[in-house]
Structure 1
C-alpha cells in the first residue's frame, strides 16, 4: 500500500473512534456562522467536505440548497441522515477523500469544509480538488483552526507522543493563515478572512480534557496506542496544564475560547 494510502487509512480509522456527534455540538456555532455568511439560495448546488454528522450540510439544506456531504469515514452518516430526516430535508452522503473528490469539474456553486479539510495529508491536492469542483463565480467557505488556538496546542501535545508522517500531515494549522491560503488557492480566488472564536463551556481544564478523552477520535486512538500505557498519564497531564492557560471567565461564564479563521474564497468568473 502506498504511503499516502497508509495515511488515509490511519485517518479513516482514527476519526471513526468515539462519539464525534458530541464534539460536533461544540463546533456547530462555527457552522452557523459560516452558513449565515454564505447565505446559500434555494437550489444552490453545495458540497460539504469532511461533513462529519452534517452540521453545515443540514443548515444549508434547510435554506433550500441541494447539498451533498462527503467524508473519509461513513461512521458519522447514520447520525447525519437521522438529523436530516428529522429536519425534513434530503442530503446525499458520500464516502470519499478530499484529495480525490468523486465529482466532475465545476460541479458546485458552493464548497465548504469546517475544521476538516485542513487535516488532509496533501494540502495542495486537497485545495486543488476544492478549487476544481467549484464553478467559476462560485465560493469556497471554510473554518480552519489557527496556530494560536487551543486545538493547535492540543494537537501539538498529541503529536509529540505520536509523530505524524512526513509532509504537511503534521501542519494542519497552516490552513489558519491567510497568506498560506492565498498561495495554496492561487490567483483564481479572491479571499476574505476573519478571526473568530468558538466557546467551549467547561469551567475547568480537567473537564474539557475528560470530554475529549471520552469522545474525540484522535485522542481515543492515542490512548489506545500509547506504550507503555502509563505514558498516557504524562500526556494527559500536559493537556490539562496547557488547557488551564486558556480557561477564562467573561459574560458567558467560565470556559475556553478557541480561535479559528473563517474563510470565504470566491473563484473568478472566467477561466
Structure 2
C-alpha cells in the first residue's frame, strides 16, 4: 500500500523552531543601544519618506525598540509596533515615554501578522522585516495589512554596503540557513523588493542614502563593541566559542570589513548604505 506523506505538521514545527531561534537571537546583546546610539536618524528618515500624518493608523513591522514607531507617534499617528522579540519592548516603552507619546506594543511574526486585511494606512519597517527569513511571505503580509491607497515604507541595508559586507564576513562562521531562507540585505536591492511587491503596489520610489558612524576610534573598537551588542553577531560568536582559531579568524575578518570602509583620519568613520523604498497599495 502506498500513500502521500503529509509534511504540514513537520513544516509548521520547523517554522516555529526557526522563529524561536530568531526571537532568541534578537534578545541577545543590546539592540536598543544600537538603535539609540548608532542609528537614531533612520526611523525619522523613513517616517518622513512615507509621509506619515496626524491620525494615520501606522504599523511598524519588526519594530524592535521603536526606532520608526516612536517618530511616527511623534508625528501624530496612531501607532502599533509589532515584533517577534517582545523582550525589546521594555526599551521601546521607555523610548516612547521619553518622547511623551503612546505606542501599542504587540508581539507578532512578520510572516503571519495578527491583523485584518487593510487595517493600516501606513505600514513601515525600518531594518526590521528584512530579517524575516522568507521574503515573499513577509512582503505578502506588508501588502495585505495595508489599506488600498495606503503607503508601504521600507528602509533596509543594501547588499553592497557596509552591513552587506559584514554579513558576508560572518557567513562562513554561521550555521547554514534553513531551506528557503534568503539573505537579509536583499531587501536593500530595489529590483528584489519590486519583484516581491509586484503589481499590488504603484508609485514606487527609491533613494539610496548613507548613515555615517564616527564614534569608534579604530576598526577593532567597532568590532569589539558590535560583537557584544548586535544579536546576529553575538549569536555567531557563541556558535564558535569553543574554536579559538575560528574566533580569531572572525575577529580579523570583521575588523578588515570596518578597515576597508574607514575614511577617517584619527578615528574610524564609516558610511553604511541603505535603501528607502515607498509604494502605494493598489486598489
RMSD of the alignment, in Å? 1.5
Aligned to 1:222: 236
Q: How many residues align?
A: 267
What displacement does 1:167 show? 4.0
- The answer to whether the Cα contact below 8 Å between 1:164 and 1:170 also exists between their aligned partners in 2 is no
TM alignment of 1:1-271, pairs within 5 A:
2-25=13-36, 26-190=38-202, 191-201=204-214, 202-226=216-240, 228-230=242-244, 231-249=246-264, 254-268=268-282, 270=283
Q: Which has the larger radius of gyration?
A: 2
**Structure 1 Cα separation of the partners of residues 227 and 208 of structure 2:** 27
| C-alpha displacement of 1:227 | 5.0
| Distance in 1 between residues matched to 2:176 and 2:168, nearest whole Å | 10
Deviation at 1:182, TM superposition (A): 1.3
- TM-score normalised to structure 2 length: 0.90
Moved over 6 A (4+): none
Whether the aligned pair in 2 keeps the contact of 1:49 and 1:116 (CA below 8 Å) is yes
Q: CA deviation at 1:40?
A: 1.4
What is the aligned partner in structure 1 of residue 4 from structure 2?
none
Deviation at 1:41, TM superposition (A): 1.3
Consecutive unaligned residues in structure 2, runs of 5 or more: 1-9
The aligned counterpart of 2:5 is: none
Equivalent residue of 2:141, what SS?
Answer: helix
Question: What secondary structure does 1:76 align onto?
Answer: helix
Unaligned residue ranges in structure 1 (runs of 5+): none
Aligned 8 A contact 2:165 2:257 in 1: yes
Q: Is the partner of 2:137 in helix, strand or coil?
A: helix
Secondary structure at the residue paired with 2:69? helix
CA contact (8 A) 1:40 1:65 kept: yes
Segment of structure 1 superposing worse, 216-225 or 124-133: 216-225
Q: TM-score normalised to the size of structure 1?
A: 0.94
Q: Is contact 1:123-1:168 (8 Å) kept?
A: no
Cα deviation per residue 1:187-206 (whole Å; 9 max; x = unaligned)?
Answer: 12121111111111134211
Contact 1:14 1:218 in 2 (8 A): yes
SS in 2 for 1:143: strand
Distance 1:95 1:7 in 2: 16
Contact 2:169/2:257 (<8 A) preserved: no
Q: Distance in 1 between matches of 2:277 and 2:190?
A: 8
* Structure-1 separation of matches of 2:40 and 2:176: 27
